[in-house]
Amino acid sequence: MMKKLIIIRLNGFIFSLLVENGVIEDLHCQKEETENLLGNIYIGKVKKIVPNIQAAFIEINKGLECYYSINEKKQPFFTNKIGKKPLCVGDELLVQVSKDAVKTKVPSVTSDINLTGKYLVLTTSDQKLGISGKIPKEEKSQFREWLGEEITNAPFGCIVRTNAMSATKEEIFLEFTALKSEYESLVKKAATRICFSCLKKALPPYLQDIQNMRQDGLLEIVIEDETLFRETAVYLEGYPLGGRPLLTKYEDKLLPLHKLYNVEAELARILKEKVWLNSGAYLVIQPTEALTVIDVNTGKCILKKQDEENFLKINTEAAREIARQIRLRNLSGIIVVDFINMKKEEQWQELEKVLKRELKKDSVLTEFIDFTGVGLAEITRKKTRKPIHEIMEGALWEKKK
């Protein structure tokens, strides 16, 4: 399967598009003038504690308060402790932004610090070795053998990412050593810096997309903009040659990259509620603050017979497109899908297999929970960045019904 990552600067936005065999399968965007907070590490100050919701609000910059759960198991790294209670107003501690602000909700921070590499994530949340569930069982034992001793008695844990399957032992240890050094440097800096200091700025979102992308099959990164090309080239210098995708500078002035991939038309489709399927059926996608509802309709689909086989075909086609639309729109939280009703249990089992398989393609943690008694599919997806309809609100590509 041929995969390309296309990075485009267009109308005040930077877009990252994952293209597989000519089809846009994933899309992220950011406003250029918007400061990226996600992943940044700060010395924050506790402004208030709200016991009835088990939360505190921590200021990471003057006037910028963030939500913090006081149920976190790990003891925070305090740079200035005020009182004897586990957490007090005025305490200063190390926090990392874990979620962007979404609609009326402020950003979220955590005292569980994560330092992310291509193959590994160093984490203070647990002093254990965790391994991606997508790595085969026989390879998991290999990683335990390599890294188990390194984690013993360390003040942090380590998570082996799916990309590590393509890495050599030397590459794994080089990255582990680099992340360990970064953590030790961070702790030293924290002890001498003042409140509201930003100790680490996360990579720009488009470089995070490269870092977080599964490397299997990624052959090429294509960029037209000179500045983005240079920044990406510098970032890729840290990659081992064997795992480094080809970086190509797009030079065709007569056919800009956004025209070649029809980006504006694709964005217009993503911002609409209605999504047509090849069969003539369609989806209606309605995100709200609480959850997202997706309805599957037969639409213009011409059925020879109103039988279960035809309904299953529409539902499986819809399941594939729903998984794609979740990625393209960056929908998160609770997602409820109302599929066309089917009477046979085996039909629902087949649909469940297809849905689970398609959701596994997502680089963001996405899970199928179950079908309810009335045939509604429940899906959850981890919240990180804002959905695309919020980022692009008021831009050129206005949503149309």
Per-residue pLDDT tens digits for 106-164: 999 999 999 999 899 999 988 899 998 888 888 899 999 999 888 888 899 999 998 88
pLDDT mean across residues, the chain? 90
In a shared domain, residues 252 and 285: no
Query: 283 and 213: one domain?
Result: no
Q: What pLDDT is stored for residue 244 in this prediction?
A: 79
- Residue 130 falls within a domain, yes or no? no
342 and 271, same domain (yes or no): yes
Could you tell me if residue 117 is inside a domain? Answer: no
Same domain, 346 and 272: yes
Q: What is the pLDDT of residue 303?
A: 59
For position 235, which CATH number holds?
3.30.420.40
What's the CATH number where 374 sits?
Answer: 3.40.630
- In this structure, is residue 307 part of a structural domain? yes
What gap in Å lies between CA 114 and CA 108, rounded to an integer?
14
- Exposed e or buried b per residue across 257-294, where buried means at least 16 C-beta atoms within 10 angstroms of its C-beta: bbeebebeebbebbbbbebebebebbbbbebeeeebbb
Count of the separate structural domains present in the chain: 3
Location of structure tokens 């085996």: 346
Last-in-domain residue among 112, 136, 152: 112
Structure tokens at 345: 């249990």
Q: Are 301 and 348 within one domain? A: yes
pTM, two decimal places: 0.83
Of 72, 89, 112, the last residue of a domain is 112
Alpha-carbon distance 264 to 389, whole Å? Answer: 14
| Statement to judge: residues 222 and 271 lie in one domain | no
Looking at residue 202, what is its pLDDT?
Answer: 92
Mean pLDDT (whole number) for 300-320:
80
CATH classification at residue 108 = 2.40.50.140
Q: Are residues 304 and 363 in the same domain?
A: yes
One-letter amino acid for residue 86 of the chain: P
pLDDT at 305: 56
Q: Domain range spanning residue 14? A: 1-36+202-261
Same domain, 299 and 387: yes
Considering the domain boundaries, does residue 182 fall inside one? Answer: no
Q: How far apart are the first and last CA of the chain?
A: 34
- Of 82, 112, 142, which closes a domain? 112
Q: Decide if 318 is inside a domain.
A: yes
In a domain, 313, yes or no: yes
Assess if residue 223 is contained within a domain.
yes
What pLDDT score was predicted for residue 396? 55
CB–CB of 292/328 below 8 Å? no
Q: Which of 52-61, 204-213, 331-340 is least confident?
A: 204-213
Closest CA to 342 of 293, 376, 304, 300: 376
H or E stretch covering 205: helix 205-212
Q: Residue 174: inside a domain, yes or no?
A: no
Instruction: Using a pLDDT cut of 70, give the percent of the chain over it.
Output: 94
**Kind of pairing, strands 78-80 and 333-338?**
unpaired
Q: What is the mean pLDDT of residues 17-45?
A: 91
